[in-house]
Each structure stands twice: as C-alpha cells, then as structure tokens.
Chain A
C-alpha cells in the first residue's frame, strides 16, 4: 500500500526532471570574455592614424555597357492562381490573378524579373533623372512584379483600380493609403542591399519587389530574359550581383555555372570593362535547380 504511494510520489520528480525547467530553447553560443575585452580595447581608443580606406579606386575614364539574356532551362510549370477573397467585385474580375514570381516566356524560354546590379562603383555618368517612374496597380495586382529606381528619382505610386490600396514598401517609411484612381509621389531616399517586398495589406495576395540604388546601375530582365546596363565606369573591377525572387541561393542570389566569369553561388561575378566596350554575356542558362518552389 505504502510502496504504491511512494512509487506514485516518485513519479513527480521524475516527471519534473524529464520536462526540465521552462521552455526548451536551443543552446545559444556565449561570448568569449577575454577576446571581447581585447576587441573592446581596440574600440575605445581613438584611431591613431587616419587610414584612407574605402572607395573603389577610380582608375578608368571611359564608359561601357553590359548585357545578356537569361534563359530558364527547367520546367516552369503552371503559375498558381492566388486566393482572392477581398473586393471580388473588382479584383480578378477581368482576368484571374496568378502568382507572378516566376515568369518564363513560352517561346524563347527567357526568364523575366532577374535583377542585375553593381555592388559598388566609383563613378556615375548620368545625373538622377527627374522624369518620374510609374509604379501602377490594376485589377488588384502590381503591374511590375519587380521594380527598380534610382535614389532621388520620383516614383509615382498609382492606383488604377476603383478600390483603395495601401502600398507598403518594406524597409522604407512608405506605407500609404492610395484612394481609388489616385496617385502619390514617393522619392526613394535610402539604398537597398537586396530587393524588398511591396505588399498591400488590404489585399494580402498582392506582392511585388522593389529595389532602389544610389548609382542607378541596376536592371531587371525583360519578358524575353534580356537585360542591359549602360554607362558603367570602365577600367575598374565591377562586382555584379544577380538576384531572382525564387532563387534557391543565399538571399536570393542566383548562382550560375559560368566558370569563365567565376560566377559564385551567391550570384556574383566580377568583370572589368574597357572604355566604349559593349560586353555581351550571351545566353545565361539558369538551371531548373536554381529556382525553388
């Protein structure tokens, strides 16, 4: 009788011991105190000599262009129809709304919406254009699945629908309500290191990407997969980053098999252009495995 009772009692501590104290969080690494103190010693003293670090050396004088065409070697499959459950009297009324994150041209196999940009350039040829770009939405879809602009260039955010949209650009101050049929102007003022999402919280299926760059050395591949970036500084090594929304690479970087360009898995390659050169990378084959579901 007593032994039963004690056996039951014994269960208590066993249960507590098994369950542990508090929620199960994975173990996180901790700091190495001695190393931290050594680093700190280097942080609190003022720098002894002004080391001229930094900007890419400006060596060349001329200008050059880069172009190429992305071709998808995999099977794109049918685009998924999106769930449209708001404002259905307007949204998806004229045509069904599909997932636009992978657009492959049926005949040429060209891969659209690949972003190519220069990570750092020492010189810029053209002043910031003053003509506004239009970022439009209609049928409760963003008309440009990937949109790029240069800092300081005005962007007219337009709503061509008879219902209100709020256009919410991640990583910026812009989340503004745009009433039916109206336009508001946004001037991008901070540079992005990678494309960011644009969403409409009223219509949650709406999603596009934007990227704003200070130097404007950025291009998005067209429906046939082609892109070109003009007026690049010649005579200096330029590191290009290539990105696609559905890429399986780190941070959306699109890694290709191009040993001649040393194209790495992060989707980057370095190239030095000669003055007045129009460098054509030719057909850039994107294998099916580079694009995720």
Chain B
C-alpha cells in the first residue's frame, strides 16, 4: 500500500504537467505579424544627450510607431496591401500571402508560407526557423540587394531575373528549384519577394529619417507627402527602372564556340586568352587563387554578414569604453546619460544575439567544381564577371555603369567565361601538351 502511494503521488503532478504542456502548446496561435528589423531599430535609436524620457520607453514608442506605419503602408502577412504608388500587383500578393489554403475555385493560396517561409522568414528577413542550420544563410530581402540578375550592379533585378532564380534554384545552396509549380504561382512568389523587399527598404528609410531628422521624443510624420513621396517612391523608382538597367551583352568573338566543350581544340586559343586575363588584368587570381580553387582570400564577409560584424564590433568596443568610464567623477547629469547609454548597449547585445544570425565569412568560389550559383550558362557567367556580384565582395571586370570603362573589354570577357568553363576539366592547372585532358581520361 505504502509502495503504491509513493509511486502515485509524484506521478500525479507529472501527468498534469505533461497534459498542461500539450494542451497549451508552444505559445498561443496569433495571426502572423511582420517583425521589425530589430538590429536597425536598435542601432538608430541610440540615446541622445538630454533625453528626458527613459530610453527604453522612447525607443519602444518609436518602434511601435514604425510597426504601425508599415502596417498602414503594406498591410499584414495575412492581408498584404499594395498602395497604387508601390507598383505592386495586389492580386498576385494575395495569392502568395496568408496561411496555406484553397480559395473558392480551388486555387492554391498562401504560397509563400507553403514554400518559402521556413527559410526566408515571414518578414523576408532570411531568418526562418531553419535559417541557422543552412550554409549559406537564406537571403534577407530587406536591404533590397540581389545577387543573380541581368542588371547593373546596384540596380534591382527584373521580374524575369527573380522568376529565373525561382525556376532554377541556386545550385550549391539550399535554395531548390520551383520549376514544377505552375508559372502563375512562381510569378506570384516573385512579386511577393519584391513586396517584402520594398517593405524592408521602406522600413530602413524610416529609421534613417528618424535618426537624421528627429529628436529623441519626436514622432515620425504620417502624411501622404512623407510616407509615399519621401519614403516609398525612391524605393519603387529603383524597381521600376530595372528593365532599362540591363547590362549590354557583347557579341561573342570569333574563336569562341560555346557549342563545343571548352576543352575542344576550337576553343583553345580563347581559353588561353581567358587564362591570361584570369591571372592578369581580370584580377580573378587575387581571390580565386592561381589554382582557381578559391583559396586566395578567405576572410571577407558579404554585405549582409558584414553589417552584423561591424555593428557587433562597435557595440563591443563601446561596452568596453563604457565599463571603464570613471562614473564616480561624473556630474549627476553625466552619470544619468552614461547609464542610459549603457542600457542601450546592453539591449543592443541582446538584439544581436537573438535577432541576427552568427556572421559567417564568404569564401571565394572554387571554380574547379563546376558549380555556379548564378547559373552555368555562358551568359550567366558573363553577367557575374561583368558587374561582379552585388552584395558580395566579388568586383566586376566590366564598367560600373553605362559609358564607363572596365578593366577588361566587354568582348574579352567571353574568353574568361571560356577559361572558367574549362577549369573543372583541366588537369593540374595546365592544359595538356598535346590535347586538353578531360576528367574521364584520368581514370
């Protein structure tokens, strides 16, 4: 009897705990909401001298105001809104947004949450639940930078560029191909990516404005002149200009035959020319290395990671200075100011730990693997070489804009393309004496 009792008594609370946990689940189910860019929000809410309100209160007030303004301009993840000035197609957004469901005619809705959200996150911040486990990290759309496109380096991608990435996927990363989806669905997803990106850039513009123009307790204007003309339009204009911002494609010079393998004798001179440019004026060797194994330069970051690295360094440095400050010698006002600043720095550390992924370096690509993230067609390689890769350290060898001068003439870039095509099949870094050696001949 005593035996049974002693086993039942502890059993009861345990069962209760399990039942309670299962019943409660992990958090209440609430409608999905966009998350603020907390790193930027905290960074641009640095306390000012003579701030009368407690810092935590005003930064919270400002952030709530940004969230409210963004909801007014862009709606919610369940009900996206496209202002006419945004140039966005609201019917496409509705197809992509919201929970996964079928509408009255049986058409699939909620495509973003079905296919994208687990990596790219509900706000398009590249911080979905799986993001931390992926390498490279999923793209954060909010800074409005895209890598694989047909336009000038700082121009936006065209709609076709986004659709192309969705259809092809990005080889060598976790981004799969969505070519099996009906074209209308891919189209809607590309539009939704644009929506998240415009929203993200508008958010950044609000922080910049607040930081540059407003005092600590001033509110952001909510007029149409400000939100539409000053915040939204500059971002939208860049997207609208994408189609006219495509880089020129030089004619393929004689002696380059992409119909044949790069190892074919017909391409031999061109490949040798490409190699000379790779090692010389093209400067490719600087990062990709003499062997093209990508071992030249390995401690750089892309723009997304660099932003976190830089801000982390700054915060760590400021925290050190703050801890060493002689608070005992300060006047009461100075000490209060000092305390506010320390409060901000500690909040910032928390945000950086919880709201940013741990920064990673970006190694130069190993060109011997035959894996080209932006696509393997000669045209894709040409575009990567011409403008470089936006957001990545990779510089361009073509001009930086219309009318400029590149370090390699446009048509010559095709020779580098040819050389790069040959690299996965080249033996020991040198062309064979008699004929090029291809991988299958080695075995």
Contacts and interface: CB of A to CB of B under 8 A. Distances in A.
A and B found bound together: yes
A42 B224 contact: yes
Interface stretch (B111-119, B161-169, B366-374, B396-404): B396-404
Interface string B266-292: 000000000000001111001100000
B235 interface: no
Given A26-B354, A40-B81, A86 B297 contact: yes
B396 A175 contact: yes
Interface string B45-71: 010111000000000100110011111
B99 interface: no
A106 interface: no
A45 B72 CA distance: 13
Contact of B14 (A6, A21, A293): A6
B106 interface: no
A2 B280 CA distance: 76
A178 interface: yes
A38 B401 CA distance: 43
Contacts of A28: 35-36, 38, 41, 63, 67, 355
B375 interface: no
A20 to B, nearest CB: 8
A43 B83 contact: yes
Nearest to B5: A3
Interface string B26-43: 110000010110100100
Interface stretch (A63-71, A181-189, A213-221, A227-235): A181-189
B433 interface: no
A127 interface: no
B212 interface: yes
Interface in B287-338: 287, 297, 299-300, 317-318, 320-321
Interface string A117-141: 0000000000000000000000000
B328 to A, nearest CB: 16
Contacts of B11: 2, 6
A60 interface: no
Interface stretch (A10-18, A93-101, A145-153): A10-18
B355 A26 contact: yes
A42 B69 CA distance: 11
Given A37-B72, A178-B407, A202 B287 contact: yes
B395 A30 contact: no
A133 to B, nearest CB: 16
Interface stretch (B151-159, B176-184, B254-262, B423-431): B151-159
A164 B283 contact: yes
Contacts of B73: 40, 43
A184 B407 CA distance: 8
Interface stretch (A108-116, A165-173, A276-284): A165-173
B343 interface: no
A99 to B, nearest CB: 13
B436 interface: no
B405 A184 contact: yes
A287 interface: no
A51 interface: yes
A13 B21 contact: yes
Contacts of B38: 25-26, 28
Interface in B76-115: 76, 81, 83-84
B26 A21 contact: yes
